[in-house]
Amino acid sequence: MMHPQPSLLAPAPSSPAQLLPLAARSAHTPAALVGDTPVLWVGEPFTAAGRGFWAKLEGHNPGGLKDRTALYMVAAARERGQLRPGARIVESTSGTLGLGLALAGVTYGHPVSVVTDPDMEPQVAGLLRAYGAEVHTVTTAHPVGGWQQARRDRVAELLAAHPGAWCPDQYHNPDNVAAYRPLAHELVAQLGRVDTLVVSVGTGGHSGGVGRVLRSFFPSLRVVGVDTCHSTIFGQPAGPRLMRGLGSSIYPGNVAYDLFDEVHWVAAGEAVWAARQLARTRYATGGWSVGAVALVARWTARTGPAEQRVAAVFPDGPHRYVGTVFDDDWCRRHDVLGHVPADDPAEITQCAEVVVTHWTRCRTVRPPRSAARPDGTGLTGAAR
Ligand SMILES: Cc1ncc(COP(=O)(O)O)c(C=O)c1O
């Protein structure tokens, strides 16, 4: 259950024994600091009176949510002999997995190359280099598969150039899902019961891993997926996307379509509004996926039964978004400032019914037809 809270006004403890219940974790390795992240109650004024939700703050990991999967995928590949000691790790990432892989590289002694596109925040690219990773930035989008396909093509080139190199392939590697089981167990221990889970979807890793385990504890769990407009994952056509982390222009094999009771698409301006409101009212915030998830969790808490317990996963913190989501000039230039979302999402009955451009909900979730293609790629537009 919840850790004891020290009162700011309580008298200072006078012996080590009195401090024991408050002891912070100590670790011999940075990897041991991954997981066991806190949950924070998000209530009024961000939410309606008496209708809040619990946010799982994955930004408290050294890199972010993807530290969990990076360490797990690398450890599993080493155990299976797919990744030899000292061999290079090569992966396409918008940033968060890169930070996790850099941690895994330091932990297990592997050089790391990450492939990204020009929209990676300079702070993240700088941090990756500081952590010892090579950063390869593709400069031209693939004419059909967009930036994501261009990044995958560069990964293939790097793998060919480094014999013995290994690619985790986060989009299709089942270890990317299995890595998140502990996160679900943490939620059970922290909250006792979860009735509704609100999660963003990019590769499908954490939604699948957390959702599956939580549903085994709570069979009537409602799983609410959050995607960005112009993402292909749930059957919408690809289009240019500002939001990073969640969303895709391919069909990741890891998405557990059968798990979701509903999906919401959120537009970039709506996510900006929510991330900024959260920062002002709750201090704990993040970027695109946190804003989108918080918007949907806020609505879910208001419109569901009063006694339901809603958990929302916040994948990272705000720092890398200072020059984008939290920068007025950047937001104005990209026309994402001052977009106050509607009180309720628009509704469609089939995921591909219309092209959605603002917050929209669909309660019928099925794998899009193109997702059945064995390579996970389908018809995509010039998108990220
Ligand atoms: C910031 C952020 N949010 C959300 C996601 C989506 O998570 P998943 O890939 O587990 O679906 C990612 C994935 O990279 C991310 O980096």
Buried b (16+ CB within 10 A) or exposed e, 222-254: bbbbbbbbbbbbbbbebbebbbbbbbbbbbbbb
134 bridge partner residues: 113
Q: Is 202 in the pocket of ligand 1 (CB under 6 A)?
A: yes
Question: What CATH number does the domain located at 39-61+176-366 have?
Answer: 3.40.50.1100
In the chain, residues under CATH classification 3.40.50.1100 are 39-61+176-366, 66-161
197 close to 223: Cβ distance less than 8 angstroms:
yes
- Predicted confidence at residue 228, as pLDDT, reads 98
Measuring CA to CA, how many Å separate 169 from each of 20, 156, 172? 42, 11, 6
pLDDT tens across 330-341, in order? 999 999 999 999
Longest dimension (CA), the chain: 67
Going from the Cα of 117 to the center of ligand 1, the distance in angstroms, rounded, reads 16
Cα 244 to Cα 230: distance, rounded to the nearest angstrom = 12
Q: What DSSP state is assigned to residue 47?
A: S
Residue from 200, 201, 319 to probe ligand 1 pocket by mutation (most atoms less than 8 Å from CB): 200
Which of these ranges, 58-67, 236-245, 368-377, has the smallest mean pLDDT?
368-377
Assigned token pair, 291: 């804003």
Atom of ligand 1 nearest to the CA of 97: 14
Q: pTM of this prediction?
A: 0.93
Q: Is 102 in the pocket of ligand 1 (CB under 6 A)?
A: no
In this structure, the residue with its CA closest to atom 3 of ligand 1 is 245
Weakest-pLDDT range from 110-119, 204-213, 243-252, 288-297? 243-252
Is the distance from the beta carbon of residue 146 to the nearest atom of ligand 1 less than 6 Å? no
pLDDT greater than 60 at residue 348: yes
> Which pLDDT tens digit goes with each residue over 154-210?
999 999 999 999 999 999 999 999 999 999 999 999 999 999 999 999 999 999 999
* Residue 211 predicted with pLDDT over 90: yes
- CA–CA distance, 104 with 71 (Å, rounded to integer): 5
Residue 12 clears pLDDT 60, i.e. is over it? yes
Query: What is the per-residue pLDDT across 297-312, written as a single tens digit (0 to 9) for each?
Result: 999 999 999 999 999 9
Does ligand 1 have an atom closer than 6 angstroms to the CB of 318? no
Q: Which of 231, 262, 265, 266 is nearest to 247 (CA)?
A: 231
Answer whether 359's CB lies under 8 Å from 294's CB: no
Ligand 1 neighbour 315 (Cβ under 6 A): yes
Q: Which CATH class is domain 66-161?
A: alpha beta
Which residue from 383, 380, 384 is spatially nearest to 368, judged by alpha carbons? 380
Query: How far, in Å, is the centroid of ligand 1 from the Cα of 324?
Result: 17
Whether the CB of 196 sits within 6 Å of ligand 1: no
